[in-house]
């Protein structure tokens, strides 16, 4: 069987991102073949479509997400050598063969798109706010920008009972974050540079 994979043919700019027709990967007895439904740059949300003979815990049809780096389960990352956002072939393919130990089951109430984005932003935000520090109720946390990391962080610090401040140069986004997400304070950095 054939799949479409996207690869960068030359590392100059995004114009070198091209689609290629390739064989779907084969699996060994400890791997599963996943069909990729959604990605967030480097990570994927998938459904298992084939299971190796020695695989435990997973079956065909399970909804899964791949671990960011199977060699890094906690603490500071020491190397990116095995990370899907490092030199390892990424997830811009339709199918991927992975060790079953590198997968996490995802809840059925979340969409593929939600969990694909949550892994990247959730991990980064959790480590910044709680992994390296002790975030305490009553503290004030400032977020620069209105992207996915800031949005995820706002939810975490709200749950921790912290005051939330967001900075952006876009009044419309600042209003949305105030109205929709209940940010305590918003600052337009162009209008209030100090």
DSSP 31-50: EEEEEEEEEETTEEEEEEEE
Q: Per-residue pLDDT averaged across 83-99, rounded?
A: 73
CATH of domain 134-188: 3.40.50.720
Report the alpha-carbon distance of residue 107 to residue 147 in Å, rounded: 24
Q: Per-residue pLDDT averaged across 79-103, rounded?
A: 75
Q: Per-residue pLDDT averaged across 59-78, rounded?
A: 78
- Fold match between 25-124 and 134-188? no
Q: How many CB atoms lie within 10 A of CB 181?
A: 15
Contact between 32 and 51 under an 8 Å Cβ cutoff? The reply is yes
Contact between 186 and 163 under an 8 Å Cβ cutoff? The reply is no
> Binning pLDDT at 50, 70 and 90, where does residue 117 land?
confident
Considering only CA atoms, give the Rg of the chain: 20
Mean pLDDT of the chain, nearest integer: 84
Report the alpha-carbon distance of residue 124 to residue 18 in Å, rounded: 29
Q: What is the pTM of this model?
A: 0.62
> Binning pLDDT at 50, 70 and 90, where does residue 41 land?
low
Q: Per-residue pLDDT averaged across 181-187, rounded?
A: 94
- Residue 82: pLDDT above 90? no
- Residue 49: pLDDT above 70? yes
User: Strand 163-168 to strand 185-188: parallel, antiparallel, or no bridges (unpaired)?
Assistant: parallel
- Residue 176: pLDDT above 60? yes
In DSSP terms, which residues pair with 15 in a beta bridge? none
Q: Phi and psi at residue 79, in whole multiples of 5°?
A: -160, 150
Which of these CATH numbers, 3.90.180.10, 3.30.450.20, 3.40.30.10, 3.40.50.2000, describes 25-124?
3.90.180.10
Burial class (CB in 10 A: 0-12, 13-18, 19+), 127: middle
Percent residues over pLDDT 90 in the chain = 38
Percent residues over pLDDT 70 in the chain = 87
> Binning pLDDT at 50, 70 and 90, where does residue 162 land?
very high
Report the alpha-carbon distance of residue 133 to residue 127 in Å, rounded: 8
Report the alpha-carbon distance of residue 15 to residue 36 in Å, rounded: 23
Pick from 187, 191, 156: nearest CA to 174:
187
**Domain extent listing, the chain:** 25-124, 134-188
Pick from 99, 153, 146: nearest CA to 124:
153
Q: Per-residue pLDDT averaged across 166-178, rounded?
A: 94
Q: Per-residue pLDDT averaged across 96-116, rounded?
A: 86
Q: What is the pLDDT of residue 143?
A: 94
């Amino acid at each position: 069987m054939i799949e479409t994979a996207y690869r960068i043919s030359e590392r100059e700019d995004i114009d070198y991102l091209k689609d290629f027709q390739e064989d779907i990967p084969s699996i060994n007895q400890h791997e599963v073949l996943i069909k990729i439904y959604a990605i967030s740059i480097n990570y994927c949300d998938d459904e298992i479509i084939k299971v190796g003979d020695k695989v435990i815990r997973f079956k065909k049809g399970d909804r899964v997400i791949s671990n960011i780096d199977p060699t890094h389960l906690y603490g500071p990352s020491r190397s990116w050598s095995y990370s899907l956002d490092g030199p390892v072939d990424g997830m811009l393919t339709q199918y991927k063969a992975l060790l079953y130990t590198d997968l996490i089951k995802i809840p059925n109430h979340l969409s593929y798109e939600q969990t694909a984005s949550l892994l990247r932003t959730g991990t980064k935000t959790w480590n910044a706010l709680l992994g390296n520090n002790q975030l305490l109720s009553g503290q004030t946390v400032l977020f620069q920008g209105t992207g996915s990391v800031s949005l995820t962080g706002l939810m975490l610090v709200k749950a921790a009972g912290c005051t939330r401040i967001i900075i952006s140069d876009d009044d419309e986004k600042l209003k949305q974050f105030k109205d929709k997400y209940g940010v305590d304070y918003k600052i337009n950095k162009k209008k209030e540079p100090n």
